[in-house]
Amino acid sequence: MKMNEELPADVGSVLTQLLDEAREALKNENKSLFQRILRTVRTVVENKIPIENLKSSLLHGCDRIESLRSAPSENTEVIIAEYLRQMYQRLSTRISTSHWE
């Protein structure tokens, strides 16, 4: 796939919405909702992302977040929030709009 290939708009929209919801669930300390959203993000990425380097990067983010959640430390939520922000940023380079500045 070409490096400048764009993500299908519907997939980008779904994933950015899910990441927004994950960020809110994390902020509100809703662990079960956060986990369900993260599983959904992983499923969408695995099944709908045609761009291999983007898919790999997003799955890496999901893996790291799951690892952090399984062995929490004092800064776990801050680090997870940063992974979510980076995942969103990776997506926003492939779609036309972004509101996480």
> Average pLDDT of each block of 10 consecutive residues along the chain (101 residues)?
67 95 96 97 96 95 96 93 96 67 47
Q: Would you kindly state where each structural domain of the chain is located, as residue ranges?
A: 9-92
- CA 28 – CA 24 distance, rounded (Å): 6
pLDDT at 94 (0 to 100) = 81
- CA 88 – CA 98 distance, rounded (Å): 8
The pTM of this model reads 0.86
- CA 19 – CA 71 distance, rounded (Å): 21
- CA 50 – CA 76 distance, rounded (Å): 31
pLDDT at 2 (0 to 100) = 46
> Do 25 and 34 form a contact (C-beta atoms < 8 A)?
yes
